[in-house]
Amino acid sequence: MHGILIAWRIDRQKGIIRNKPDHPKAWSALYTLCLPEQPAEFSRFCQEIIRIHPANQHAWIFLQLVSRTQPQPLDIPGFAQEIVRLHPDNPHAWDHLDLAFEKQSAADVLHAFYCDLTRLHPNCKIAWTRLAQDYKRIGAYADLVTASLELLKLNPDDATSWCNLGDAYAAQRKYGRATSAYEKAIELKPNLLSAWNNLGNVHHTQGKFDRAIEAYRKATELDPHDASPWVWLCLTYLELGQVQKAQEAVKKVQKHLPIVAHMLEEELDRTRVGTTAAAQSLAKILTHVSP
């Protein structure tokens, strides 16, 4: 009789939760009833609710709690991937995926998951965004072009995707395409600092120093505390032989990047005696750390 009563109470709490998934007292009561005798059943119920309501915090929390009590804990990262596959456009599902993997070094696993998801759900913007970030991180610029173009199919007015496309083209030395992409990003979002700074880099690389200075100057106006455009301004002035303006730029760098400012001061000293090769070498190094 006791077992029948417990089963009835468990079913009753499940019914309450199915009708009102965010009912905290019902969740606590069900957990208390199930934990001693039916933890596996409770785990299955949590998964059932999450599959329908991926943002249900009670279900996620209790699932992790009960999983720790099992001889074979649930594969939470694997389950989180399942939920994202079911709800690819739900940001809460992605949040729980991130939480599931936050203590693991699983960059390759996640990259493979993003690739798989874009095949299953080719219109999933979140998956393409994650994949684009990965391609940029590992320097896979041809793939970054592909991911950025897919994102722009989904949202042609996404300034960040245009900027990423510009970065990919610039890395491939396709400077005309890079310039067009950055200019489109700026048209859509005039205060996008990275687009202005990287547009300046492209002009700088091509020796279009006046246009580079114009872009860097705009970047300094958008964020006076960002030292990167001031570094590039200094290097541009050095290559133009405008030592006084280069010195003024170094002063702006000093506060935020003192080590780089010291390097620039050394290049200024060399420039005064007619040596600019080192400055050009420094420009190539800084290309890799430019935003």
Determine the Cα–Cα distance for residues 183 and 195; give it in Å rounded to an integer. Answer: 8
Question: According to CATH, where is 1.25.40 located in the chain?
Answer: 1-104, 209-291
Specify the residue for token string 């005798």.
37
Lowest mean pLDDT among 23-27, 101-105, 135-139: 101-105
Higher-pLDDT residue of 21 and 273 is: 21
Structure tokens at 190: 């005039």
Q: Is the pLDDT of residue 288 over 50?
A: no
Tokens of 108: 């390759």
Give the pTM.
0.84
Provide the pLDDT confidence category of residue 272 given band limits of 50, 70 and 90.
low
Residue predicted with more confidence, 242 or 269? 242
How sure is the predictor about 2, in pLDDT bands with cuts at 50, 70 and 90? low
Fold of 209-291: 1.25.40
Cα–Cα distance for residue pair 268/280, rounded to 1 Å? 12
- For residue 164, give Cα distances in angstroms to 19, 30, 174, 252: 45, 48, 13, 27
Kindly tell me the burial class for residue 254, based on how many C-beta atoms sit within 10 Å of its own C-beta (0-12, 13-18, 19 or more). Answer: middle
Question: CATH class for domain 1-104?
Answer: mainly alpha
53 backbone dihedrals φ, ψ, rounded to 5°: -125, 80
At residue 3 the predicted structure's pLDDT band, cuts being 50, 70 and 90, is low
% residues pLDDT > 90 (the chain): 67
